[in-house]
Chains A and B, each alone.
Chain A
Amino acid sequence: MGKLHSVSLNRDRCMGCTNCIKGCPTEAIRVRDGKACIDENRCIDCGECIRICPHHAKSAQCDPFPDLTSRNASKPAAVLLPPSLYAQFGPPATRSMIIRSMYAIGFDFVYEVAIGAEACSLRTREIIAEKRALVQSGGSDFSSVFPLISSACPVVVRLIQMKYKALIPHLIPFDSPMEITAGFARKDIASKLAISPDAIDIYFLSPCPSKRTVTINPLGQNKSEVNFVLALHDVYPLILSALEKEQKDTDAATLHAFVGLAGSEGVQWACAGGEASTLDTEKYMAVDGIHNVISILDEIENERLKDIEFVEPSCCFGGCIGGPLTVTNPFSAKARMRGFIKAAIDDEERSPDKFLRFRHLQLASSWKIPLEANNSMQLDADINTAMDKYEQMERILETLPGLDCGACGAPTCAALAEDIVQGNALETDCIIKLKEHIRKVAQDINLLDL
């Protein structure tokens, strides 16, 4: 499968402990020969293992920071800033200052991903209204249409493809704010400079590994509009020093080559619940933290969430501000975000002209390729063989100690049973079973009476 994922392992740092296998929501990691191994088919890039690893052996593979000074001048570089970036910086930093600092670092163009977020909010409101009309006219059951599920978090989309396939039709079927903004930026620059859209490098400053993965292995599209993904924590020191040099707030709208600020609605997307609060419904639910997301998806699949029209699941606690590649802790980030949102709302009221009316630009684009189910949870492609394997698994599981200690390298005894059935592990990988075997051998030797 090659490099489909961003989350990867530094073998030298891995001590073979069991912290990561225990926290992985899809049981995608095993410890084999003293080192963690990630199953590429099951990894959803949530980054839980990056957070939990005490030896910092897990990391997100992102692109290196480019040398912006000596680059080929014929290829302009644009950077996309997610709303969660702002929360990494406290007062006196303002959005305008942060945007200016990106020019200072050497990027030729800067765009706020909040532009794409506004476009998504607009289109989602339309979709909710369409589905409501469909249900009211009797064309569809409430529970077969609702709740609609946000597809903004790629981790959630991949989780649904693997473990909640029945919910694929509930996903909002269009591009993420990042993709929309990248597409908009490419067209904007191409027309401003009268160059080919392909002759532009687009960078995204990412709070999470999954955004890098979607640029290599896109959802609903053949090719991502983003060329490079930079880890937010890698660029943080550069922004900080640029901000220190420029302590006074100057309006970004006056900047040459700046397209304009996004509205407050898009900025709100940084925090869990921010997206949902921009929609015309109070029947929504925002759930954050991957394990909480799993329990809510279970509820939806069993049709136990009645009267909910929209669910906004975020893999990370606090939403994107809690991403594994961020710097500031999510609680401070949330507090700071309130300041940025309030400033955006005040600004909008005071000088509406300063803000580009992105919301009128029908930017949201639908997925061109239908989402496929990921069958890696299936024990076998043939249902009869799969049933046999399941039975064998249950039989093996009965003989295992049930401690779920992880010493064998699998997260639970059930996972070890599965590995044994699939031929990837032995019963004696279980240390309790091994001890029993050794005791028996020792007894037999004693009986030999040598």
Chain B
Amino acid sequence: MKKMLTRIGVRPESIKRAAIAMYEAEINAVIHARGGKAIVMILPDSVRIEIVDQGPGIPDVDLAMKEGYSTAPDTAREMGFGAGMGLPNIKKHSDEMKIDTEVGKGTTVTIIVRF
């Protein structure tokens, strides 16, 4: 996605925000749901990224959005992840963010970054 945005001439600041937001969401999907799917839609004025997983879901979204709150396992923390900054970071680097989640079914994080 980053390469594509670069080639079409999006401002570097927007590319950076989109790349960071997407990376954080991907890491979340890997840690909590053992992977998922990324759907990226590029429009002339924005990029919309959906990270869809079939993981455990998020029981309390407000709590999960708090900085420093994390349910990541120790193995993830040992690798430097799980600092509880994932979702807050996505929010910080996006213009719109939506979380659709159902416990036991999975989570879809939708991110919009405007150019």
Contact = CB atoms under 8 A, between A and B. Distances in A.
Nearest to A303: B20
7 contacts: A165-B12, A166-B15, A303-B20, A377-B6, A377-B7, A383-B8, A386-B7
Interface string B86-108: 00000000000000000000000
B77 interface: no
Contact of A166 (B12, B23, B80): B12
Contacts of B115: 383
| Majority SS at the chain A contact face | loop
Q: Which 5 A-B pairs have the closest CB atoms?
A: A166-B12, A165-B12, A378-B9, A386-B8, A166-B16
A390 B23 contact: no
Contact of B8 (A301, A303, A390): A390
B20 A387 contact: no
Nearest to A387: B8
A224 B18 CA distance: 38
Contact of A302 (B7, B23, B42): B23
Given A379-B9, A381-B9, A387-B8, 12 more contacts: A164-B12, A165-B12, A166-B13, A306-B80, A373-B12, A378-B6, A378-B8, A383-B8, A383-B10, A386-B8, A386-B9, A387-B44
A295 interface: no
A373 B80 CA distance: 33
Nearest to B43: A387
A272 B62 CA distance: 48
B54 to A, nearest CB: 26
Contact of B44 (A301, A378, A383): A383
Contacts of B111: none
A137 interface: no
Interface in B1-46: 4, 6-10, 12-13, 15-16, 19-20, 23, 42, 44
Interface string A287-314: 0000000000000011110100000000
Nearest to B13: A166
A163 interface: yes
B6 A390 contact: no
A380 B9 contact: yes
A378 B5 CA distance: 9
Nearest to A418: B7
Contacts of A163: 6
Contacts of A380: 8-9
A351 interface: no
A150 B90 CA distance: 29
A375 B9 contact: yes
B43 to A, nearest CB: 9
Contacts of A379: 7-9
Contacts of A383: 8-10, 44, 115
A166 B12 CA distance: 5
Contacts of A306: 80
A384 B115 CA distance: 13
A387 B4 CA distance: 9
Contacts of A304: 23
Given A302-B23, A303-B20, A306-B80, A378 B7 contact: yes
Contacts of B13: 166
A384 B44 contact: yes
Contacts of A164: 12
B9 A390 contact: no
Contacts of B9: 375, 378-381, 383, 386
